[in-house]
Structure 1
């Protein structure tokens, strides 16, 4: 039996359940959406979701710059 009630033609969320907001870029490191976009996702129109989805691949580059991690922190402390 098919359940047509739950079949929707919506754009699925890009969420990958890695919900950590980058402190400088202010976007989620998992899905690359802003907090505002994540909050509004359920109320967005199909067109607005498409626009966000089209922007996401370009946002990955904002997170590609590494700050050095733990090793860099330790090096800064010793100087």
Structure 2
């Protein structure tokens, strides 16, 4: 039985534009202040979820 290769690590979505809006969401990456603070302690699955939510926030802000 061969195991599938491990999934690549989830990279931080930070783009070095660290400015929070009134909702405490970064205008650069779309993460909340809590998501940013907890990033280093999250599992890979939790990081994927954060990245998905951040993308949704960014796309909503752009429309």
Paired residues, number: 55
1:34 pairs with 27, 32, 43, which one? 32
Shift of 1:39: 0.5
Residue aligning to 1:17: 16
* Structure 1: unaligned runs, 5 residues or longer: 1-8, 66-79
- Moved beyond 4 Å, runs of 4+: none
Identify the structure with the greater helix proportion.
Answer: 1
Aligned to 1:71: none
CA-CA distance at 1:64 after TM superposition: 4.0
- Output the aligned Cα RMSD: 1.6
> Which string of whole-angstrom CA distances, capped at 9 and with x for unpartnered residues, describes residues 26-58 of structure 1?
200000000110011011001100111111221
Normalised by the length of structure 1, the TM-score is 0.62
